[in-house]
Amino acid sequence: MMTKALNLLWLWGLTASGAGLPPAVRSAAERIRQAALSGSGAAGIVQSLCDHVGPRLAGSAGSRAAVAWALEQMRGLGLENVRAEKMREPRWERGVETAEIVAPAMQPLAVTALGGSPATSPEGLEADVVSTENVESLHALLARDPSAVRDRIVFYSEKMTRQSDGSGYGKTVNIRWAGPTEAARAGAAAVLIRTVGTSSNRLPHTGVMKTGPEIPLVPAAALSAPDADLLERLVREGKTIRVRLILTCRTLPDVAGSNVIGELSGSERPREIVLLGAHLDSWDLGTGALDDAAGVGVVLETARILSRLPKRPKRTLRVVLFANEENGGRGAAAYRDAHRPEMSEHVAALEMDLGADRVRAFSWLAGGTSEPALSEVAALLSPLEITAKKPEASGGADIGGLREFGVPLLDLSQDASRYFDFHHSADDTFDKIDPKQLDQAVAAAATVAYCIADMPERPAPIPEEKRKAQE
Amino acid sequence: MMTKALNLLWLWGLTASGAGLPPAVRSAAERIRQAALSGSGAAGIVQSLCDHVGPRLAGSAGSRAAVAWALEQMRGLGLENVRAEKMREPRWERGVETAEIVAPAMQPLAVTALGGSPATSPEGLEADVVSTENVESLHALLARDPSAVRDRIVFYSEKMTRQSDGSGYGKTVNIRWAGPTEAARAGAAAVLIRTVGTSSNRLPHTGVMKTGPEIPLVPAAALSAPDADLLERLVREGKTIRVRLILTCRTLPDVAGSNVIGELSGSERPREIVLLGAHLDSWDLGTGALDDAAGVGVVLETARILSRLPKRPKRTLRVVLFANEENGGRGAAAYRDAHRPEMSEHVAALEMDLGADRVRAFSWLAGGTSEPALSEVAALLSPLEITAKKPEASGGADIGGLREFGVPLLDLSQDASRYFDFHHSADDTFDKIDPKQLDQAVAAAATVAYCIADMPERPAPIPEEKRKAQE
């Protein structure tokens, strides 16, 4: 309580000195926050994208349908300068994916190919399994015996832990990203990973693996947690485990895709841009409700709310629905390339891509002179039970690349406790959306977007020494 | 408390009068109960069946492997008269199962064929969807318009409710059992049902539909709950929904199968049989951990415990692992046929087939003179937090048919709160087993089996007027 009282005094002092948010901006932000919290249209937007478009992996018919959907939605919401900015996107198709234990006893396995995986031969690939925890333990194994995995199927068994900030994902995802190529380099025949997720059902989570012209590749798939548990039990019994894997996935030539962009032009400084991003593509297994129709719903609903204000904010709000976040990041790259000349006019960027649950924390990365104003924005979020958080913001996959241009980054970190139960799996469907939590996220995003767009001073750019992303 | 005290007095009176369990039986039962509760081998048996045999649908290679496994297990446990009693079992194979919404917008659906379903043509079947809740509402629809479902795909949307006694299943399962044939009779092209289960993931639950020489059939499949929700939302939008369904399932000629039987011969009245049953087969999607490896584990572990007693119980304990419970009940029928001459020697039958969680209630159906002794058995279960329950026992799918012969039936009703999250789905796997709860079920089954096998008077047969199963 003491801290809160001190904060309030400090805020009052700042405002009085003119360094923060003017009272009119603060009170407008409070009204926006309250209105969104009492019921937004975000869940309806999410439902429309899930039900009327469905899965929308880059390169698929769903991806094209999503672009058409997004253009129509933006126009319907009254956004301006609505356009599809063309880019090229990859086209990887899943095909058939089956696996079974053939020894010690026949048993089907629930698998899903990792994005970018090559196919096995049509009749499948059969090999003995060698089990290791992660890439580090693979290297330790190879140091003892360089032929340990040759012609084998490498099974990475590392378990992701459930954390409200989703940090378990970052700690484990390397088995999916680098695991296949590290095993390929050592002569493995194929790779199976324990699903990188927290679900305990038999729906494995897909996701992209490292690929590229110089990257050795082998067929790679994720096992659901129960199937990984089964393999681990058989490994503990000391039996030779033989698995057959059939994947018919394939990479086809790149095709045309689009980032979809719409704006609310600023009333006083229209060249200054507040970027609000989410990604339009999704994995193919589910309907991408949490990843990232939810983000799409939050940013579009935020734009709708701000479009209905009696007076337009000073700066332009630009909603960018990025293409191909999931397996290539080509949308983000295309945006950076196309908008390089106006990078210095990007006053801040916020990306929503951590599911549909409530926002827990607000953080930022900007020049030090903006601390007071951004702290005031943070204070406006505290009725939503959102705390101002250190460390500084890092942006997400789509806006993180703006850091090198000094564009201030804002993070609204959502509760990710249950996100990784569904993320990248067939279970990422609309029924998992909790409209109340989504409304809280809209309230947060709309509050932040409005304040940044209408505050007197634009946030200061990221200092040069902080423009390199930390590993 | 009052009731309990009165019960104790009443029990004491009965024992003193010689109508109940002798103190030696009671104290032996208490030791058995306590030993099982402190840790049994049941989970290990379940694991072995799941991991070393896996799915074991009637007619499959897994079914044959399960018979070999069961014979080996019984011999290893020291049972006597271990044998495979031959019968014929059906052979239905699942094949490919895919479905997609083709209008208003393309979208894959998670489906699984119902057991016994015929195939669609290889390229699939495409038709408009007509939605109805259940068989009753279908009939109401047909009364208004007899052509309402002709050439359509009938979608039954009824939801199963979660109940600790599993009663939601019985109230809903008719959409699976009778739904397809009722729709076929009215000229439907195919049937989709909302999964009969309580899971909210995209793993639909299979199960048997009504088939037979005179039964009209159409291809029929279950949709996962999220997919059923999606169809319902589209129905509410009033759009014409068109679905394509591909099923390649097929029914092949019957093959040889076996009930697997082992015994502990009684020390005084070896011709009198206490039957302990579970079923060895499982659906093909998961590994049948809960349905019914758990039951197999409980009855085999019960036999093991009783085989280690210093003195054999008076009567014979017969463990029967039934074949083909899931899609035909041929194991139960074969047992009745083969053992008809000794039906009157069956002093009681108990079946374990409601998952792996703790037993909540004990009930029985026997002649009235056995009430005092069976109430005493019930009292021995109360430290396990098991209540004596009315209405009377009904047996399960495998032993219910013994009722017509007057064989006393005993039910140990398990907590089914989460059973239908997994039952008949790909998610019925060993990781769902809670060994502590399974031990409690073993403690209950061993207590009951021992008491019945060693009590002075065998339970009185079911009176004639109660031998017909109630609908």
Residue B105 to residue A65, Cβ atoms within 8 A? yes
A62 at interface of B, judged by CB pairs closer than 8 A: yes
Closest of B113, B323, B290 to residue B208, by C-alpha: B113
Q: Which residue would you say has higher pLDDT here, B17 or A78? A: A78
β-strand partners of A246: A98
User: Which residue out of B51, B284, B432 would a mutagenesis test of the A interface target, given it has the greatest number of A Cβ atoms within 10 Å?
Assistant: B51
pLDDT at residue number B22: 95
Residue B47 to residue A226, Cβ atoms within 8 A? no
pLDDT at residue number B9: 46
Q: Do residues A328 and A471 touch, judged by C-beta distance below 8 A?
A: no
SS3 for A447? helix
User: Which residue out of B48, B72, B107 would a mutagenesis test of the A interface target, given it has the greatest number of A Cβ atoms within 10 Å?
Assistant: B107
Nearest to B52 among A105, A203, A226 (CB): A105
**Averaged pLDDT, B224-237:** 97
pLDDT band at residue B40 using 50, 70 and 90 as cut-offs: confident
C-alpha angle B349-B351-B354 in degrees, rounded to nearest 5:
160
pLDDT at residue number A382: 97
Residue A107 to residue B287, Cβ atoms within 8 A? yes
Residue B287 to residue A53, Cβ atoms within 8 A? no
Residue B108 to residue A54, Cβ atoms within 8 A? yes
Residue B110 to residue A47, Cβ atoms within 8 A? no
pLDDT at residue number A470: 59
A429 at interface of B, judged by CB pairs closer than 8 A: yes
pLDDT at residue number B131: 98
Query: In whole angstroms, what separates CA A29 from the centre of its chain?
Result: 27
- Neighbouring C-beta atoms of residue B469, cutoff 10 Å: 11
Chain B nearest CA to A335, separation (Å): 29
3-state secondary structure B430-468: HHHCCHHHHHHHHHHHHHHHHHHHHCCCCCCCCCHHHCC
Closest of B385, B305, B324 to residue B86, by C-alpha: B324
- pLDDT value at B15 more than 60: no
User: Which residue out of B236, B428, B431 would a mutagenesis test of the A interface target, given it has the greatest number of A Cβ atoms within 10 Å?
Assistant: B431
Residue of B nearest to A104 (CA): B52
pLDDT at residue number B352: 98
- pLDDT value at B205 more than 80: yes
For chain A, list residues with pLDDT below 70.
1-19, 469-471
- pLDDT value at B282 more than 90: yes
B214 at interface of A, judged by CB pairs closer than 8 A: no
pLDDT at residue number B470: 59
**Averaged pLDDT, B58-68:** 98
Q: Do residues A403 and A462 touch, judged by C-beta distance below 8 A?
A: yes
pLDDT at residue number A174: 97
- pLDDT value at B305 more than 90: yes
B158 at interface of A, judged by CB pairs closer than 8 A: no
Chain A nearest CA to B98, separation (Å): 12
How far, in Å, CA of B239 to CA of A353, rounded?
A: 31
Structure token digits, residue B451: 């008491």
ipTM of this model?
A: 0.93
B230 at interface of A, judged by CB pairs closer than 8 A: yes
How far, in Å, CA of B456 to CA of B461, rounded?
A: 15
pLDDT at residue number B19: 60
Torsion B150-B152-B153-B158 (CA) sign: negative
pLDDT band at residue B341 using 50, 70 and 90 as cut-offs: very high
Query: In whole angstroms, what separates CA A420 from the centre of its chain?
Result: 11
pLDDT digits (tens, 9 = 90+) for B67-83: 999 999 999 999 999 99
Residue A431 to residue B226, Cβ atoms within 8 A? yes
Which residues of A fall within a CB distance of 8 Å from B234? 51
pLDDT digits (tens, 9 = 90+) for B115-170: 999 999 999 999 999 999 999 999 999 999 999 999 999 999 999 999 999 999 99
* Residue that has been written with the tokens 């019984």 in this structure: B74
Arithmetic mean of pLDDT over chain B:
95
- pLDDT value at B190 more than 90: yes
Chain A nearest CA to B103, separation (Å): 9
Which residues of B fall within a CB distance of 8 Å from A107? 51, 54-55, 287
Which residues of B fall within a CB distance of 8 Å from A110? 426
Q: Do residues B208 and B99 touch, judged by C-beta distance below 8 A?
A: no
pLDDT at residue number A20: 82
Nearest to B51 among A50, A51, A230 (CB): A230
Residue A107 to residue B430, Cβ atoms within 8 A? no
How far, in Å, CA of A5 to CA of A26, rounded?
A: 18
pLDDT at residue number A19: 60
What residues of A act catalytically?
Answer: 325
From B9-13, B53-57, B399-403, the region with the lowest mean pLDDT: B9-13
Beta strand pairing call for B315-322 and B359-365 = unpaired
